[in-house]
Amino acid sequence: MNFFEQNLASMEPRDPELAALMRSDLDCSHIEVLPSQRPDVLTARVTLRSGEQVLLHNMEDPIGSAVRSAEKHEMKAANASILLGFGLGYLARELAKKVEKKHPILICEADPAMLKMALTHIDLHEVLDSDYIKILVGEQIPLQDWISRLSSKFMTAKVDVVSYAPSLRLNPTVYGGLEAIAQKESLAIILNRNTTLKAGARMMENILLNFPDVLQSAGVKHLANLFEGRPAILVAAGPSLEKNVHLLRELQGRAVIIAVDTALRLLLPLGIKPDIVTTIDFNQVNFQKFANVPIDPDISLVYHPGGYYESIRAFQGPRFTSSQVPNRIPAWLMQYVEDKGGLASGTTVAHMSFSLARHMGCNPIVLMGQDLAFPKNQVHAGDLSLWQIDTSDMETVEDIFGEPVGSMTSFKHAIYHFEKAFAETEATVIDATEAGAKKKGARPMRLREVIDEYCNLPQLDIKGMLGEAAKTVEGVQLGDMLRDMDFISAEFGCIANESSDIVALAGKLKKKIDKGEMADEQFCRLSEKAERLTQQMDGHGRALYLMGEQNYALELYMMQHAVATIDEIEDVDQKITQQVERAAVYYPSVARAAKNFKQPLDRLIERLKRAQELESMPLGADATAEDWYQRGIAYGKIEYGREALVCVQEALRRAPDHTPTLKFAARLFLDGNRTGETLNVLARLKEHMRPDRKLESLMEEAQAKHQAWEERRARLTAEFEGKAHTASLEEAGWFYYRTKDYRRAVSMLAESVLKQPTAEGYAKLGHARLKLDEVVGAFDAWEQALALDPSRADLYKMMGDLALEQGAEDQAETFLQEACRLEEDDLDAFEKLARLYLKRGANMEAGLCYENMLRLVPNRTDLMLQIAVLYQRQVAMATTQ
């Protein structure tokens, strides 16, 4: 069997499509396989379309070069690698030889013919037989999808990019693009890893605390195409929101307003009620976004199941969530719940908002307040920032005007994610931030024009439609789920106990090892017992898997310390020694993780069982206020706030002055920041009972919250009334000029000078027309400007430059003369005019120009020489005459 058939025999079971491509008739005529100076070792030479020839491997020692290159790269189990360029496969083969298990390698080869030649001439079984190596070919490789897929499967910590330089020379455009994608995806993996390492336990706790709310929330699938063709305004909290937030009042009912959680503390005080708020943040600091904010019950919430639990409970209106979440714990629990649908949440809550708008069929999708940059060291609008920026972390990106602006790594990654999403979106995407970072695929516009052009639509009961959609809640197999949760809880108990036992045994074994007592009977008994316990631990695989994300650092440790390799060591003493060392790190962490998981899981089981019990005992028509009050208290104890509030309302409907219920209602309302209702209830209580310390404390807390909110509302209203600015047509036109939307700029600037002629307006109109190659129109606008302001030297110069480009040198000379007369310090204008004079032999005039230039730059010795030459010519001419 030749190399080609041997290699394809390995490839076909793993990648039949690629094998079929390799068997097809590929043009390999541009690739020449040559013998190197090493016996039986080949190299290859590729002829490019330009005729240039590129040698893919050196003639001296292709394999030795590959070995030396591979030695520079670690192939640890916790990481992944991307090899850009295959050549004849020598480097790929050496990397495959040293790769550890669970270290995936993606190999990208732009030219399928190159891979076919390698398969034909080189034995590549090390590459093709590996379960961890994937070969991708062609000029349109979906690299980001593959990186995302493999990093999720193998819990990758980071991605290393290995570029094979000779291959890159063959197709620098394709490989350059792949390298950029690889670097950005690698950054994403690092950011995600750091988040999980930092907050795995917090995310686990949130999911378990949120799960009753998840069960009672409608799935996002009910929002699919709900607002098809209706504009969506995605409100982020960047500093530019201050420019145009006031315009949102015009959009109520005309566009779907989706606000990120941070923006809510600004919108509500300004009297702006978004239709939907999105939240994804798992941190406790996220609750500060809602602290003391009375959230209207008709505002819908779309949330990630791992969001901070108090933030989600703060919303009393319609709520929607996803079940298609790529995390282990929700995936386990959601198998017992009817599918709720899913959203691509991305890396920020703003990405979730965009995904939601797409899901609802909105068009156009309009971003505002999405700066992802901070030109004035300001991260958010107003006082919304919950953290300070570190200017040492500042990087530079291009803004919407093509100019540099400060940003940071996480913002750059957010831009990258947005741009990927925009490229996959059929709807028109508009960036109405009016500042901030440029986002490829989003057209910059001012919100004013967005409203005028896209939002002149009949009113729609958007909040009512969302409320109706939220009424359909997915079913749940509660009995099966609770039985499985009980089983997993018991497993965690076993894991914690067995881990503690193993740690104790490991300690005893370590003492024996240190004393050199590895051959006595007690050591054998201890090691056998430890082995049995370790095998028992392996039987808890499902529970250990669920613990992985909240103990991600431990999983990385186990991969990096080659667990399987240690267990396969043949030398018994060496094997036991390394297992004991591993146990000292691994099992204490396992015990802690199991206990940390078991506690909130048991609390969730208790809450679900008690709620199930209450639901199985509904109150009848003859139930008293006291019955409903006691039921409300029972729901309150298991943190079912909505159900508790319903019970309170039923109790007060039967007995409006039922004192215990009024007290409970006041607490519930205050916890939900409904301070107005709290104060009303407390006022009623005062009429029916003597004041006591608890009641007075509740009253003080409610009054303080209410006053703080009213003061905030008044302050922000006054502050933002001063910030609201209606741009003139001239300002608007220049905005579009700077964003390179020249047709819109010409339209608005022409309308501006028609309504209010100004020299500056005509000057800008001329610039905009010139960008559209409307030369005559540009001249006409500048002439109008000069008629209004004859002192504009800059316009004379522009007209001179344009006349030069058109070959009208006499006209250019006239314009430049006027420019130099009006602006005596314009070095460039004098130089251009001097050249014109020289061309027609006006040496004296040219000399005067050079003298003016020398006045401006006295150290220009070349000017002195030029002036001397010109005067000599002038003298010579005078002499001959």
**pLDDT > 90 fraction of the chain, expressed in percent and rounded:** 58
The predicted structure's pLDDT at residue 194: 59
The predicted structure's pLDDT at residue 563: 44
Residue 642 and residue 516 share a domain: no
Q: How far is the C-alpha of 798 from the C-alpha of 795, rounded, in Å? A: 5
- Which of these three, 703, 723, 743, is where a domain ends? 723
Structure tokens at 802: 């344009």
What are the φ and ψ backbone dihedral angles of 500, each rounded to 5 degrees? Answer: -65, -40
Q: How far is the C-alpha of 361 from the C-alpha of 364, rounded, in Å? A: 9
- Higher-pLDDT residue of 692 and 630 is 630
Confidence of residue 10 (pLDDT cuts 50, 70, 90): very high
| Dihedral sign of CA atoms 455, 461, 464, 470 in order | negative
Residue 610 and residue 702 share a domain: no
pLDDT in tens, 594-620: 998 999 999 999 999 999 999 999 999
Residue 442 and residue 533 share a domain: no
Q: Identify whether 821 is part of a domain.
A: yes
- Which of these three, 723, 750, 780, is where a domain ends? 723
Query: Taking 90 as the threshold, does the pLDDT of residue 692 lie above it?
Result: no
CATH number of the structural domain spanning residue 110: 3.40.50
* Length, in residues, of the chain: 881
Residue 790 and residue 690 share a domain: no
Structure tokens at 513: 């090892």
Residue 573 and residue 491 share a domain: yes
CATH number of the structural domain spanning residue 712: 1.25.40.10
Q: Which of 197-206, 275-284, 461-470 is predicted least confidently?
A: 197-206
pLDDT in tens, 132-143: 889 999 998 888
pLDDT in tens, 19-57: 999 999 999 999 999 998 888 899 999 999 888 999 999
Residue 656 and residue 579 share a domain: no
Q: How far is the C-alpha of 839 from the C-alpha of 809, rounded, in Å? A: 10
Q: Identify whether 207 is part of a domain.
A: no
Concatenating the DSSP letter of every residue in 335-369 gives TTB---------SSHHHHHHHHHHHTT-SSEEEES
Placement of tokens 């990087």 in the chain: 395
Cβ burial of 177 (10 Å; 0-12, 13-18, 19+) is middle
Query: Taking 80 as the threshold, does the pLDDT of residue 239 lie above it?
Result: yes
Among residues 879, 804, 875, the alpha carbon closest in space to that of 844 is found at: 875
Query: Taking 80 as the threshold, does the pLDDT of residue 492 lie above it?
Result: yes
Please tell me what DSSP assigns to residue 435. Answer: S
Confidence of residue 865 (pLDDT cuts 50, 70, 90): confident
pLDDT in tens, 512-568: 777 777 777 887 787 778 778 777 877 888 888 888 766 654 554 444 444 444 445
Residue 380 and residue 264 share a domain: yes
Q: Identify whether 327 is part of a domain.
A: yes
Residue 741 and residue 803 share a domain: yes
pLDDT in tens, 305-354: 988 999 899 899 999 999 988 778 898 999 999 999 999 867 889 999 99
Among residues 106, 95, 98, 80, the alpha carbon closest in space to that of 158 is found at: 80
What are the φ and ψ backbone dihedral angles of 267, each rounded to 5 degrees? Answer: -65, -50
Confidence of residue 507 (pLDDT cuts 50, 70, 90): confident
Indicate the number of domains in the chain.
Answer: 5
Structure tokens at 58: 């050196």
Q: Which of 88-92, 99-103, 188-192, 241-245 is predicted least confidently?
A: 188-192
Q: Identify whether 204 is part of a domain.
A: no
Three-state DSSP at 566 gives helix
Q: How far is the C-alpha of 672 from the C-alpha of 678, rounded, in Å? A: 10
Residue 685 and residue 809 share a domain: no
List, edge to edge, every strand of the sheet that includes 133-137: 133-137, 105-109, 80-84, 159-163
- Determine how β-strand 42-47 pairs with β-strand 31-35: antiparallel
Q: How far is the C-alpha of 282 from the C-alpha of 761, rounded, in Å? A: 50
Q: Identify whether 198 is part of a domain.
A: no
Residue 79 and residue 43 share a domain: yes
Residue 253 and residue 395 share a domain: yes
The predicted structure's pLDDT at residue 566: 40
Domain around 104:
3-193
Average pLDDT, stretch 647-671? 94
Query: Taking 80 as the threshold, does the pLDDT of residue 577 lie above it?
Result: no
Placement of tokens 């032999």 in the chain: 841
Query: Taking 70 as the threshold, does the pLDDT of residue 196 lie above it?
Result: no
Q: Identify whether 199 is part of a domain.
A: no
- Which of these three, 427, 448, 469, is where a domain ends? 469
Q: How far is the C-alpha of 564 from the C-alpha of 569, rounded, in Å? A: 9
Q: Identify whether 211 is part of a domain.
A: no
Three-state DSSP at 6 gives helix
Beta-carbon count within 10 A of 62 CB: 24
Residue 444 and residue 325 share a domain: yes
Among residues 279, 258, 649, the alpha carbon closest in space to that of 466 is found at: 258
Placement of tokens 């440790």 in the chain: 557
Q: Identify whether 205 is part of a domain.
A: no
